[in-house]
Structures are given as structure tokens and as C-alpha cells.
Amino acid sequence: MNILIIGSGAREHAIARALHKSPKSKFIYCLASNNNPGIKKLCYDMQVIDINNNELVVQYSKKNNISLAIIGPENPLANGVVDMLGKAGVQAVGPTKEMAKIEASKSFARDLLLEYNIPACPKYKVFKSTEGVKAFLTDLGEGFVVKYDGLAGGKGVKVSGDHLNSHEEAMKYCDEIIQKGGKFVVEEKLVGEEFSLMSFSDGKTLIHMPAIQDHKRALDGDLGPNTGGMGTYSAANHSLPFLNKNEVKKAQEINSLTAAALKKKFGYGYKGILYGGFIATSNGVKLIEYNARFGDPEAMNVLSLLQSDFVDICTSIANSNLKNTDISFLNKASVCKYAVPNGYPNKPIKGEEINVDNVFEPDMLFYASVTKEGDRLILAGSRAVAVVAVEESISEAEKVAENEICSIKGPLFHRKDIGKESLIQNRINHMKSIR
């Protein structure tokens, strides 16, 4: 079996490792945007190309007799690579273009939930001009969010108190979007604790993964600019210390209802990973956004905990056979921390050498935006490497992950607080204070 991975970050390294671990006979291929040395080691062939060029992807797949493709990042999904691969006889773990709109269009996701009576949205309205925006902002008051409708690599969302300090500033941002010919969503700001709940979906059945908490801010104490995610943790019971059982169940139910809504709307099922970004509020669990893929870093947590055969899971997603597939996760906690170049995310340094030789357990290390020049490991500009520890408790996993990441040498920094008891206690206290 020839399996293609599209993408080359730490998420795709985790996917490659999970496939590699399977005893099934297979060859792993990768179409990459950088020469990730961790993925390269596990692959039969890896090529750096423009992964958003569907024709190149299809050509490569035909030439190499690929039967199954796993799509890591959102852009190829939004470009319809799954539709094109399907026409060429290649099955995929990832949704079609029209279904990938669940991530690629914020208004599509909100409108779908409204249309199918899934009560998980804040108050919201979709706009193409400034007509009616002021009145809606007045209606929302102090807590509002303005979101560019399309993919923006996490930079399209502006939140009051964080990025916008007045209705005037919000109007200015709306104007900016309109100038570029864009659509936007204005919505109520939700207050609470965020978490990720990802589900495998084969078009008929959903299997939920453990809940994870990501940390978007660059610096300890949730300070500094937003990033792609600095690190994540998950608990041994697959819930999170600040959530109650009903809240995890609610998030699972929202994913199931959303997959069912997509099926009703388009007449066929969603195949791939459905990733709900949720927030537990005083008013229940609400949806912040949907992603149509694995989270990064969330994939490193769940795939490190996965006990079952990942090749089986991927083929079952493609063949709609999840119901008959064994899927279990270790009842252990996990902590993932990213080491990122100094200056990340605004002005990351590039081209400098780092050294990971002292990482004790190679299976804990995931390569992201790095390349090899001879024997030297070189920073390529974005999040560099991640470590994941799996232990009995979050605090034990935190200690191991922290120890390992501190052994990595180079002009890097990481968040020391992710998974620490004091951070988790703050999350619990926050939920207590708003419940």
C-alpha cells in the first residue's frame, strides 16, 4: 500500500510516525513544503513542491501509485485536492472542497449550525459591507469579535479587549476587509476556557479523540502575540481538569450533529478529521470554530496516545468502516511543548543551527520548520521542533517534556508554564468563577 502524506510540519511528522508504527506492509510518501528530516527518515520518497498545486499532487500520486492520501494542512483541503485525488482514484483522509468550507469559511460554519438547529453559536451576523455593522456592534456592547470569513492562518480574527479597543477600531478592521473584497462575521465575545475536541469521521460513524487544551499566545501566562500554538496537554481520563463530564459530552455531541448536518446538506458523509474548537462558558459549551484536519500541536498528543493501528484507522475512514475498527487511546496524560526560534512569530530568526542530540527518547521528538544541511539542523523560520511526554499525570508529563525541551540547544524559546500545576489551577479557578 502506498500512502501519501501532504504537508511537512510536526503534525505530519506525527502522522508519518503513527503510520510507520503499523505492522501493515506499506510505503510512506510525502509531498512537503520544507525538507523535514524527521519525516524524510520515515518515507520511501519525499519531494518538496507547491502542495497547493492540485495538478502536481495528482501527477505525483498517479506516478507513484498512491492509494490513500492524508492531508495535513487546511489550504490543500480548501483548494479541493481531495476532489481531484478522488477523480484520479486516490482515496483520502480529508473532506472534499465543499465540506472543507466548515474551516475555510467562518460564515458557512456558523450558518450550517443555525440551519440545522445546533445550539452552539454565539450571537452573530455575516456582512459584506458596513451596512448594519454599527447597529449590531451596539447591540453586542463591549464584547465583540470580527472575523475575516476566509483562511488567514489564524490572523483574521480580532477580539475586543485584545486587538480591538472600540467600535471605531472594529469598523476600521471591517473596512480593511471590505477593501480587499472580503466577507466577515461579527459575533458576541465568549468568555471561558477553550479546548479542542477532534473526531475521526468516515461519513457514517464518528470516533472521538481525547480533549486537548492548546496555548495560542507566545509567552508564559498567555501573554504576547498569537501563534500557531505553543503547546498542548491532555489528561489521563481524556477530559480536562477544568471541564465536567457533561461538557466533554456536549462537545462530542456538537461534532456528531455537525457531521450529520453536513451529510444532510450535501448528500454524502464527511471523511477525515473534524476538529471542533470549543469554549466552556457559564452558558454551556459553545463553538469557536471548526477545522477540517488534525490540530497542530494537538495531533502530537493524540497520536502519541493512540494504541490502535493508524493505517487501519485511515483505511477505515476512506472505506467507511470505523464502526468495525478498534480505536483506543492510552489512559495517560500528555504534554507537548514547541521550541520556536527567537523572534517568533513576528520576526523569527532563520538559518541558525540547533542541536537536538541530547533529547533522551527520539520518539518524543517531532521535527517541524527545520532542514538539514549536511549534519547540521537549521532553523527554517517557523515553529522548530516539538517534544511530547506521555505519563500518568499532566504534571509528571510536564516535568519530562520540560526537561527534554531544555536539552535542545540553539536560539530558541518555549513556554515553561504549559501543563504546570499552577497554570491548570488557574484554569480551574477561572471556570469556577464564571460557572
Complex with ligand AMP: residue 269 or 276, whichever CB lies closer = 276
Q: In the set 89, 119, 154, 161, which binds ligand AMP (CB under 6 A)?
A: 154
Candidates 37-45, 56-64, 243-251, 291-299 — which segment interacts with ligand GLY by CB under 6 A?
A: 291-299
Task: State which of positions 266-305 bind ligand AMP (CB under 6 A).
Answer: 277, 288-289
- Neighbouring CB atoms inside 10 A of 62's CB total 13
Core vs surface per residue 390-419: b (16+ CB within 10 A) or e: bbeebebbbbbbbebbeebebebbbbbbbb
Complex with ligand GLY: residue 38 or 295, whichever CB lies closer = 295
Give which of 285, 303, 406 is closest to 72, Cα–Cα: 303
Residue nearest to ligand GLY (CB): 295
The residue type at 111: D
Is 298 a residue that touches ligand GLY (CB under 6 A)?
yes
Inter-residue contact 309 to 327 (CB < 8 Å): no
Residue 298's binding partner among ligand GLY, ligand AMP, none (Cβ under 5 to 8 angstroms by kind) is ligand GLY
Q: Which three cell numbers stand for residue 194?
A: 477553550
Residue 122's binding partner among ligand AMP, ligand GLY, none (Cβ under 5 to 8 angstroms by kind) is ligand AMP
Instruction: Sort 140 into a burial class: Cβ within 10 Å, 0-12 / 13-18 / 19+.
Output: buried
The helix or strand, by DSSP H or E, that contains position 32, with its residue range, turns out to be strand 27-32
Residue 229's binding partner among ligand AMP, ligand GLY, none (Cβ under 5 to 8 angstroms by kind) is ligand GLY
Complex with ligand GLY: residue 288 or 314, whichever CB lies closer = 288
Residue 276's binding partner among ligand GLY, ligand AMP, none (Cβ under 5 to 8 angstroms by kind) is none
Task: State which of positions 170-209 bind ligand AMP (CB under 6 A).
Answer: 187, 189-190, 194
87 φ/ψ angles, rounded to the nearest 5 degrees = -65, -25
In the chain, how long is the greatest CA-to-CA distance? 61
Task: State which of positions 197-216 bind ligand GLY (CB under 6 A).
Answer: 214
Instruction: Sort 293 into a burial class: Cβ within 10 Å, 0-12 / 13-18 / 19+.
Output: buried
Is 229 a residue that touches ligand GLY (CB under 6 A)?
yes
Complex with ligand AMP: residue 159 or 359, whichever CB lies closer = 159
Inter-residue contact 271 to 203 (CB < 8 Å): yes
**C-alpha torsion 337→149→347→372, nearest 10:** 60
Instruction: Please state the closest distance from residue 154 (CB atom) to ligand AMP, in A.
Output: 6
Complex with ligand AMP: residue 22 or 226, whichever CB lies closer = 226
How far apart, in whole angstroms, are the C-alpha atoms of residue 105 and residue 151? 7
Candidates 32-40, 128-136, 151-159, 233-241 — which segment interacts with ligand AMP by CB under 6 A?
A: 151-159
The three-class DSSP label of residue 191 is coil
Complex with ligand GLY: residue 76 or 295, whichever CB lies closer = 295
Task: State which of positions 75-104 bind ligand AMP (CB under 6 A).
Answer: none
How far apart, in whole angstroms, are the C-alpha atoms of residue 53 and residue 1? 24
How far apart, in whole angstroms, are the C-alpha atoms of residue 158 and residue 172? 11
Inter-residue contact 28 to 44 (CB < 8 Å): yes
DSSP state of 2: E
Complex with ligand GLY: residue 235 or 300, whichever CB lies closer = 300
Complex with ligand AMP: residue 18 or 288, whichever CB lies closer = 288
List of residues contacting ligand GLY (CB under 6 A): 214, 229, 291, 295-296, 298
List of residues contacting ligand AMP (CB under 6 A): 122, 145, 154, 157, 159, 187, 189-190, 194, 216, 277, 288-289
